[in-house]
Amino acid sequence: MSESAFQIFVNALLANNFVLAMFLGLCPFLGVSGKLDTAFPMGIATTFVMLVASLCAYGLNLLLTAFHLEFLRLISYIVIIASAVQLVEMVLKKYSPALFRALGIYLPLITTNCAVLGVALFQTAREYDFVQSVTFSIGGGAGFTLALVLMASVRERLTLSNVPDLAQGTALSLMLAGILSLSFMGFAGLGG
Amino acid sequence: MNTAQYKTWDEFMEGVWRQNPVFVMVLGMCPTLAVTVSAINAISMGVATLFVLVCSCGLVSLMRKLTPKEVRIAVYIVIIATFVTAVDYAIQAISLALYDALGAFIQLIVVNCIILGRAEAHAAKNPPIPAMVNAAGMGVGFTIGLLALGVVREILGAGTLFGVSLFGAGFQPWVIMVLPPGGFFVLGAWLLLFAWWARRRAGLPAKEATQHV
């Protein structure tokens, strides 16, 4: 792999945005994007879990490859992510109880966010080295946060406008996501 | 049909129609939108998910009295991951082209909310047979949902169905439909269609659909 760290970052942030171009992490994207106040902390928490998961997955992959246990990769990754989420939960509870309460139920649900597992799986499949893996996870997390914040801002505005009854709810969110995704396609080729 | 048979059928149809995971519950969106660029991909993904769903719900149900409540989610995840690994290797052995087309989304079946949701909400409280019937219904419903998206996107975006050309050489494909935005648009359109249909069945004229604030 000859991609520079900067290229990987821009790619994961914009051109191959995790949510809008690769369809990862759609459940929180549609579920938590109702209000800006929850969308941003959720994005940050997910980014942090992604970073921890990516670091652990990198180390674990070396270990699994050394012992020729590649078939255990998926099971061990998911266990690592679940533990990372648990860790974040405990740290937040101890040092920032306010944020912990604000995130509530969404925190444990990060475990089943496919963007997190996606980071671990993609970095393995593309054989990224250590620096590349870290930039990839930060870029992916930033892209997830960006998409979430954009979506939440648009949806906050939409609550004030006159929308046909029929289209309210998920259908409207999906159409919005489609338009956002369309505009993100303009970034294609940016990361080289 | 006697009562027991009817109950089983009802349990099965709940996932296929009334609680359809794609159109009613809107769960498992990531694979739904990502792999449905063609009908054949959609069916393969649906069948893979169906298999994992039925097997893991059966096993979760068998172990429901042995599983301590505190660690149940971890147990479910490990069970699901085991079956997904098996499916992953099976698809790789059957068709490498399909494996490349579905990519990481086979392994991402692990975090499909439908499976964990079924394990937690149904299989953990019911004996194996009803749990597996319910899971099969959900799996079939999921496959139908994927197929509905895959067929529309393949016809509009590539002018083919299951790889067979439909419109001849003069057809100008609507490429956006096989690109990411198309997935969002087609699913949104399906949801609108179902909402409209439900409203019509409820006997409300379409005009009143517009809400004046």
User: Mind listing the pLDDT tens digit for each residue in B192-204?
Assistant: 888 888 888 877 5
Looking at the DSSP bridge assignments, the partners of residue B165 are B160
Give the pLDDT score at B211.
44
User: Contacts of residue A78 in chain B, CB cutoff 8 Å?
Assistant: 77-78, 81, 110-111
* Residue B137 belongs to some domain of the structure: yes
> On the CB side of B193, how many CA atoms lie within 13 Å of its CA?
9
Q: Hunting for tokens 């139920």 — which residue is that?
A: A105
Residue B208 lies inside a defined structural domain of this protein:
no
Of B89, B113, B210, the CB nearest to A27: B113
The string of pLDDT tens digits covering residues A83-117 is 888 887 888 888 888 877 777 667 777 877 888 88
Are A174 and A54 within 8 A, CB to CB? no
ipTM over 0.85: no
* Residue A189: inside a domain: no
> Is B185 a residue whose pLDDT tops 70?
yes
Please report the residues numbered 47 through 86 in chain B whose beta carbons come closer than 8 angstroms to any beta carbon of chain A. Answer: 73-74, 77-78, 81-82, 84-85
For residue B209, tell me if it sits in a domain. Answer: no
Task: Say if the Cβ atoms of A162 and B211 lie within 8 Å.
Answer: yes
Contact B183 A185 (CB under 8 A): no
Residue B62 in any domain: the answer is yes
Contact assignment for A75 to B78 by CB distance below 8 Å: yes
Which of B29, B76, B82, B115 to mutate to probe the A interface, most A CBs <10 Å? B29
Domain ranges, residue B12: 3-203
Structural domain contains residue A30: yes
Q: What total of structural domains would you count in chain A?
A: 1
Question: What radius of gyration, in Å, describes the C-alpha atoms of chain B?
Answer: 19
Count interface pairs A-B at CB distance under 8 A.
119
A contact test, residue of B106, B108, B177, B201 with most A CBs within 10 A: B108
CA distance to A67, A82, A146, B29, B87, per residue, from A64 (Å) = 5, 19, 34, 31, 20
Token pair recorded at residue A134: 């870290």
Number of domains into which chain B is organized: 1
In a domain, B107, yes or no: yes
> What percentage of chain B exceeds 90 in pLDDT?
17
Interface probe with B: pick from A75, A76, A162, A185, most Cβ of B within 10 Å? A75
DSSP B165: E
Is B122 within a domain?
Answer: yes
Flag whether A34 is in a domain.
Answer: yes
- Domain-embedded: residue A192: no
Q: Which of A181, A74, A87 is nearest to B177 (CA)?
A: A181
Between B143 and A68, residue with greater pLDDT: B143
- What band does A19 get if pLDDT is binned at 50, 70 and 90? confident
A22-57 pLDDT, tens per residue?
888 887 788 777 778 778 888 888 888 889 889 888
Contact list, A20 vs chain B (CB under 8 Å): 180
Give the confidence band of B121 by pLDDT, cuts at 50, 70, 90.
confident
Would B210 be classed as within a structural domain? no
Chain A residues whose beta carbon lies within 8 Å of the beta carbon of residue B27:
27
Rounded to a whole number of angstroms, the distance from the CA of B126 to the nearest CA of chain A is 23
Task: Write out the residue range of the structural domain in which residue A18 sits.
Answer: 5-182
